[in-house]
Amino acid sequence: MPRAVLRTVKESQVQMVQMVLPTDTNRLGNLLGGQLMHWIDIAAAIAAARHANRVCVTASVDSLNFHHPILQGDVVTLQASVNRAFTTSVEVGVRVTKENLITGEKVFTNTAYLTFVAIDEDGKPTPVPPIKPMTKDEKRRYANAARRRELRLRHRK
């Protein structure tokens, strides 16, 4: 089956915004790591599905580091972009920032890389369209995605 027409990064980008509510936090008033991972997975899944025009399932999540705590009342912005398309999978990068609505301060808190596999109606992997990076930053992320994939595949063996 031939792969579909080339897509740009911009076509599938996602920006998701969440307010941290009391039910999202631990006893210290910090956002639960699992809740943030859930939001990251959703934003990345939407970007992957937009790119592939298919249901995409999470195949892997690279390391997730927490640089700054996210507090109750903060607004969390998740920006997800497809970094690279492979045969049946895509790597999606998600950048997370927090914003204090009272002070207006915005702080970068996390980056995560996730791999999604596009599936057909029978639940089998299916080809995804190739991606064309346009900007300098998109080209850097495209090249870095190939290196991360090589490490993932080596680690799997």
pLDDT digits (tens, 9 = 90+) for 86-134: 999 999 999 999 999 999 999 999 999 999 999 999 999 999 999 999 9
Evaluate whether residue 135 is within a structural domain: yes
Query: What radius of gyration, in Å, describes the C-alpha atoms of the chain?
Result: 16
Number of domains present in the structure of the chain: 1
Let me know if 73 is exposed, middle or buried by CB neighbors in 10 A (0-12, 13-18, 19+).
middle
Residue 30 forms part of a structural domain? yes
Task: Tell me the pLDDT tens digit for each residue of 29-62.
Answer: 999 999 999 999 999 999 999 999 999 999 999 8
Q: How far apart are CA 88 and CA 90, in angstroms?
A: 7
Give the range of the structural domain holding residue 31, as residue numbers without chain letter. 7-156
- The domain that contains 23 carries what CATH number? 3.10.129.10
Residue 103 forms part of a structural domain: yes
CA-based nearest residue to 49, from 80, 6, 78, 77: 80
Sign of the Cα torsion 22, 28, 32, 36 reads positive
